[in-house]
Amino acid sequence: MTEPMKVLISDHLSDSAISIFKNKGIDVDYLPDISRERLKKIIHNYDALAIRSNTNVDKEILLLSSNLKVIGRAGIGVDNIDIDYATSKGIIVMNTPHGNSITTAEHTIAMIMSLARQIPDANVSTKKGKWEKSKFVGTEITGKKLGLIGCGNIGSIVVDRAKGLKMNVQVYDPFLTDDKSKDLGIEKVSFENLLGTSDIISIHTPLTDSTRNIINSDNIYSIKKGAWIINCARGGLIDEKALSDAINSNHIHGAAIDVFEKEPAVSNVLFKTPNTILTPHLGASTLEAQEKVANQIAEQISDYLLKGSIINSLNTPSISADEAPIIKPYAKLSELLGSFLGQVNVGEQNIISVKIEFDGKASEINSSSILSSVFCGIFKSHIDTVNIINSIQIAKQKGLEISTINHDRKCDYQNLITVTVNYESKSRKISGTLIGGKIPRITEVQGIPIEANFFTNMLYVRNYDKPGFIGSIGTLLAEKDINIASFHLGRRENSGEAVALIAVDQKVNKTIIESISNLEHVVRVDGMNF
């Protein structure tokens, strides 16, 4: 009996999320306050890890995660996960990018309103028995120009809410299309223009090398004097010391900050800075959002472990639960085709480009999910660490040109996948199909029609179509006590170039391969293992 999959939840998730795992037959250990040292000792026992922001899944933890298949982050931020190293180990990283979008956007609007009417300070003053009505004179936000740095899921919701409050919205986002900006009814501007003309600036970008300290000491004084700054996205997007100095010098009127460079923020330069509203990373902290993202990540992890579906992955193409059983046999066929070409090329020329063509029903599948299988097959004969997750990353690191073509044309097969690998001075090509939609089968090698199933041990022989070839190779293998399971031939023309695919019952060593290559009419021999 197969043991059930095991999931470790190392941060606080809802009871309903735990129930989702259990109801699907997945073992769950709920250890929300686990220490790092304890995590290091037990992580090898688990197929999946469900986290929020408190668990730091770095290289040290990943090195010990020998059985880990997937990491699920309940929420959007994944800066606490070493995604590159997880990818190299073949571990899928998922998040829930939409589950807390509304909540975070609403918190942004709440921060703007609180800053505009000085609500926190007025609250404290009133509770102290003071009645400082004249002190807390607020500012209307109607007609104010709101500048958004970034306009993804959360930013788009902020736009909608801000327009409802009759604010004028402008956006700096190099990835925002003109059509999308028109749909949102907003103005796209340059970064410099946004800084210089916005009354309120709100940041909605992920934390990357290019966005770290996007507001800093070099540009903060180019911001319109008297502007407000809001950050409910990620800590590290603003140089906190520069912000404090700009507020203290009265260049920036004030700021509302929910996220900090170092969290938990028990000490920070902004704590003693006037005209600031600071909250402890509350952007996603509503009952609705917490429940939603916890349940979503539980469903995503479960579907991957049990069905092979991949949703909201950050390091591999997504595959829906409906697509997974359809794609699986095509992925297997693609990996075998790639493996064939990879084994033929071991120790030879560098690969320049790879082209993958889809015919028949194969042209209807999600081709992006097939690419990783092809490259996994190509590389696995000479890169020990390659896997389905990191194969595309390796291909890009090698600078390979990758192209896919979905053909709408008459085809001799119900489905057909063709892989062409181009080298420095030559190319190799193989085609394959699925028999009955399940069994991988070779249909063509180097433009020569030949039909053969993949076998654990095979010989790929290039030869001339001459009498005596079959007899000589059959005799040699018999002398070496190697049994032939199947023998398939194909030729380009009578007496011309031909290929043979020979399935044998045991692995053929290099000495025997050399003996075969010395036979008359034989051009080349490759031993293959699938």
Catalytic sites, residue numbers: 234, 263, 281
Secondary structure of 96-163 in HEC code, one letter for each residue? CCCCCHHHHHHHHHHHHHHHHHCHHHHHHHHHCCCCCCCCCCCCCCCCCEEEEECCCHHHHHHHHHHH
CB atoms within 10 A of CB 39: 20
Nearest CA to 48 among 28, 71, 32?
71
CA-wise closest residue to 228 among 331, 116, 339, 336:
116
Annotate 390-401 with b (16+ C-beta within 10 A) or e (fewer).
bbbbbbeeeebe
| Beta partners for residue 423, in sequence order | 351
* CA 358 – CA 406 distance, rounded (Å): 5
Smallest CA-to-CA distance from 373 within 342, 415, 405, 410 is with 342
CB 311 within 8 A of CB 300: yes
Which long-range contacts link 105-109 to residues 24+ away (Cβ below 8 Å)? 105/154, 105/155, 105/157, 105/158, 105/161, 106/161, 106/286, 107/232, 107/258, 107/279, 107/282, 107/283, 108/154, 108/158, 108/202, 108/204, 108/230, 108/232, 108/283, 109/158, 109/161, 109/162, 109/165
Could you tell me which residues come within 8 angstroms of residue 214 by beta carbon, excluding any fewer than 6 positions away? 149, 203, 205, 237, 238
Q: What is the largest CA-CA distance in the chain?
A: 108
Q: Please, which residues have CB within 8 angstroms of residue 355's CB and are 6 or more apart in sequence?
A: 403, 404, 405, 419, 420, 422
The separation between the first and the last C-alpha atoms of the chain, rounded to the nearest angstrom, is 27
Q: At what angle do helices 287-307 and 15-23 cross, to 10 degrees?
A: 20
Query: Which tokens is 527 given?
Result: 């031993």
Distance, CA of 136 to CA of 128 (rounded, Å): 15
- The Cα 511–Cα 506 span in angstroms is 14
Whether the Cβ atoms of residue 341 and residue 378 lie closer than 8 Å to each other: yes
Orientation of helix 510-517 relative to helix 469-479, angle to 10°: 150
Which residues lie closer than 8 Å to 436 by C-beta, 6 or more apart?
none
Question: Two tokens at 93?
Answer: 């990283």
CB 401 within 8 A of CB 342: no
Q: How many Cα neighbours within 13 Å face the side chain of 229?
A: 31
CA–CA separation, 434 and 323 (whole Å)? 17
